[in-house]
């Protein structure tokens, strides 16, 4: 009778403390502890370890969902062997996420289809595993959202919201040509994040052509200066992965014939 009362009160206490995994698992782990003659400390350690692991997994799932990173673009589906040796070594270092601690930027340049987006997304997913916040967006969508926020007089609020992310992935900068007003809000974001949060961006354009993006030589120089200071630059001078894959597919079909 007393045992039932204790179990009831224990379940209520665990529920109140939101220790849901402990509530589900304590009976099984208690049985295991008795079989293996664990100490009270060891029993408690096993319980809290499971609670912690479940919470960490849930947090990673929430961070992944909030990041908007395509889940299929991860480290397992990225072919590191395609990269030049220097770029491959850089990527392996960046997967640790240590660059976030120094608010370094990651700038990836290369031809269309060379794997720029996939690499940044894979790095982003590895960063999320460490508990850091990452946000993925294309440059064209980001610029339109910033411009709308400026027109609605809420640009500071949007910049503050984006500042909560440890890393901001801006994909395909320069892929779609924007006007001067649109590029001004992008520059505002870059200036706001300077030495405050990491930016990870991809571009088909080398810096020498960025005046086509920002429309003004002074703004272009200022934008590049802020990005390059504290940065890692990766050049993917590779043929298109999609084109290579398509050729292999065609070749395979011919062989079958």
Domain that holds residue 32: 2-66
- Give Cα separations from 90 to 80, 120, 173, 215, 234 (angstroms): 11, 12, 21, 31, 8
Each residue's pLDDT tens digit, 28-40: 999 999 999 999 9
Instruction: Please check whether residues 53 and 168 belong to one and the same domain.
Output: no
Instruction: Please check whether residues 91 and 216 belong to one and the same domain.
Output: yes
Each residue's pLDDT tens digit, 49-83: 999 999 999 999 999 999 999 999 999 999 999 89
Q: Is residue 156 part of a domain?
A: yes
Q: Is residue 255 part of a domain?
A: no
Each residue's pLDDT tens digit, 103-156: 999 999 999 989 999 999 999 999 999 999 999 999 999 999 999 999 999 999
Instruction: Please check whether residues 111 and 145 belong to one and the same domain.
Output: yes
Instruction: Please check whether residues 197 and 137 belong to one and the same domain.
Output: yes
Residues 162 and 129: beta-carbon distance below 8 Å: no
Each residue's pLDDT tens digit, 192-209: 999 999 999 999 999 999
What's the pTM value of the predicted model, to 2 decimals? 0.84
Residues 236 and 116: beta-carbon distance below 8 Å: yes
What was the pLDDT predicted at 89?
A: 95
What was the pLDDT predicted at 8?
A: 87
What was the pLDDT predicted at 252?
A: 53
Tell whether the model's pLDDT for residue 256 goes beyond 50: no
Tell whether the model's pLDDT for residue 10 goes beyond 60: yes
Tell whether the model's pLDDT for residue 174 goes beyond 60: yes
Mean pLDDT of the chain: 90
Domains of the chain: total: 2
Q: Is residue 9 part of a domain?
A: yes
The pLDDT-based confidence of 243 (bands split at 50, 70, 90) is: low
Query: How far is 203 from 170, CA to CA, in rounded Å?
Result: 9
Beta bridge partners of 109: 203, 235
Instruction: Please check whether residues 32 and 156 belong to one and the same domain.
Output: no
The more confidently predicted of residues 257 and 112 is 112
Query: How far is 102 from 196, CA to CA, in rounded Å?
Result: 9
Task: Pull the structure tokens for residue 72.
Answer: 């299929």
Query: How far is 149 from 124, CA to CA, in rounded Å?
Result: 26
Task: Pull the structure tokens for residue 253.
Answer: 């079909």
């Amino acid at each position: 009778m007393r045992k039932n009362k204790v179990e009831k009160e224990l379940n209520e206490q665990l529920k109140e403390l939101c220790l849901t995994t402990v509530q589900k698992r304590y009976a099984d782990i208690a049985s295991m502890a008795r079989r293996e003659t664990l100490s009270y400390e060891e029993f408690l350690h096993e319980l809290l370890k499971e609670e912690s692991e479940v919470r960490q997994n849930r947090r990673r799932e929430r961070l992944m969902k909030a990041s908007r990173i395509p889940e299929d673009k991860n480290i397992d589906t990225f072919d590191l062997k395609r990269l030049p040796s220097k770029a491959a070594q850089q990527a392996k270092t960046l997967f640790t996420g240590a660059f976030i601690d120094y608010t370094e930027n990651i700038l990836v340049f290369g031809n269309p289809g060379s794997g720029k987006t996939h690499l940044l997304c894979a790095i982003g997913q590895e960063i999320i595993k460490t508990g850091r916040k990452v946000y993925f967006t294309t440059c064209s969508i980001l610029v339109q959202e910033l411009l709308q926020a400026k027109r609605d007089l809420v640009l500071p609020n949007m910049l503050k919201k984006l500042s909560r992310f440890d890393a901001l992935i801006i994909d395909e900068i320069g892929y779609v040509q924007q006007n001067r007003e649109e590029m001004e809000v992008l520059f505002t974001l870059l200036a706001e994040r300077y030495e405050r949060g990491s930016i990870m961006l991809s571009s088909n354009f080398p810096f020498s052509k960025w005046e086509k993006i920002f429309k003004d030589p002074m703004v272009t120089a200022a934008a590049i200066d802020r990005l390059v200071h504290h940065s890692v630059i990766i050049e993917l001078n590779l043929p298109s992965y999609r084109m290579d894959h398509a050729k292999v597919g065609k070749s395979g079909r011919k062989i079958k014939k």
